[in-house]
Amino acid sequence: MPQSILYDNTKLAVAKIVKGGKRLRSHMFAELQSHYLFDDRFGRPGKGNDKGKVEGLVGFVRRNFMTPLPVADSFDALNSRLLGACTKRRQAVLRGHNTTIAARMQADLAAFMPLPPAPYDACHKLATRVSSMALVRYRNNDYSVPTRYGHQEVLAKGYVDRVEIACRGEVIASHVRNYGKAEFVYNPLHYLALLEHKSKALDQAAPLDEWQLAECVHRLRRLMEGRMGNPGRREFIQVLRLMEDFHQHQVEEAVAQALKLGAISFDAVKMLLLSRLENRPVRLDLTFYPYLPAATVAATDPRAYLGLIANAGSNVTGVLA
């Protein structure tokens, strides 16, 4: 970490310039400075020559790394691409120097301060409360949380690519950030625990409208409801709740296997799922299912077959007569 950094007067860092040119730092910038313990310096308003080298480097990056406009599937992919470009640039030897940028950087690092054990959590934080619909509003959009956190105080953290919601220091929900306005961002899994107790609302639940499930899952529901009615719908929701602890594709594979075996039940799907993950043969341990009737099979006594021989002899005598 550099011992001091020169900034312009961006509103991200400067909340207000008061008499005498003193800068009042913004809350977020004060957090950043307190975390890394560097000194800040600010250029004069409207004086680009105070930081001309910075402006030149920004132009170089724009022309060489951002032209043509890069396209990436995610921010991670874009960052990886930019990191590769910077790594390649480090091997260059600039005019007036006889060593590479990487070698000169190693010399500069000797004057840097050590980094803290953990990086700064670079996000916008907002203390708020969960609504009765298990939603948290952040920047004009509503994000879902598990229903058990209704009406509780939470901390919404907005990153560039996602929104995280924490309660008592634990992250309870994470969503891809929506930059629209007045939109709802749902995670269907957040509402399954409530739907298990109110199973008749399954078809009217808005958070589940755009949930894409494999056809085998819909077939399992039809079979369960056809055989057991409303209890079958509740058991189907229990199958969906397996996705709270396992990946969706893993549950769907277990459902497809259960349908192939004709085992239409939550217990069967769960057993097949665990056996697949643990790489062991499917085995039903009846000690975990006390409600099933116990069957006792005694060992066969070989002397029991003597009666068959005696009966066979009498039948032969009757035919000869």
State the pLDDT at residue 48. 65
State the pLDDT at residue 319. 46
Distance CA 318, CA 315 (A): 5
State the pLDDT at residue 286. 55
CB 195 within 8 A of CB 244: no
Q: Is the dihedral of CA 142, 144, 150, 154 positive or negative?
A: negative
Which backbone phi and psi does 229 adopt, to 5 degrees?
A: 70, -135
State the pLDDT at residue 54. 74
Which amino acid would we find at residue 14? V
Which of 150, 194, 190 is CA-nearest to residue 173?
190
CA-CA distances (angstroms) from residue 240 to 269, 277, 286, 290?
Answer: 10, 17, 24, 24
State the pLDDT at residue 303. 79
State the pLDDT at residue 292. 54
State the pLDDT at residue 295. 63
Distance CA 130, CA 135 (A): 6
Residues of the chain with pLDDT under 70: 48-49, 52, 283-295, 310-321
pLDDT in tens, 8-26: 888 889 999 888 888 999 9
State the pLDDT at residue 293. 58
Query: Is the peptide bond preceding residue 68 cis, with omega within 30 degrees of 0?
Result: yes
What is the DSSP track for 180-191?
Answer: SSS-EE--GGGG
What is the DSSP track for 215-261?
Answer: HHHHHHHHHHHHHHSHHHHHHHHHHHHGGGTS-HHHHHHHHHHHHHH
State the pLDDT at residue 187. 97
Which residues lie closer than 8 Å to 261 by C-beta, 6 or more apart?
268, 272
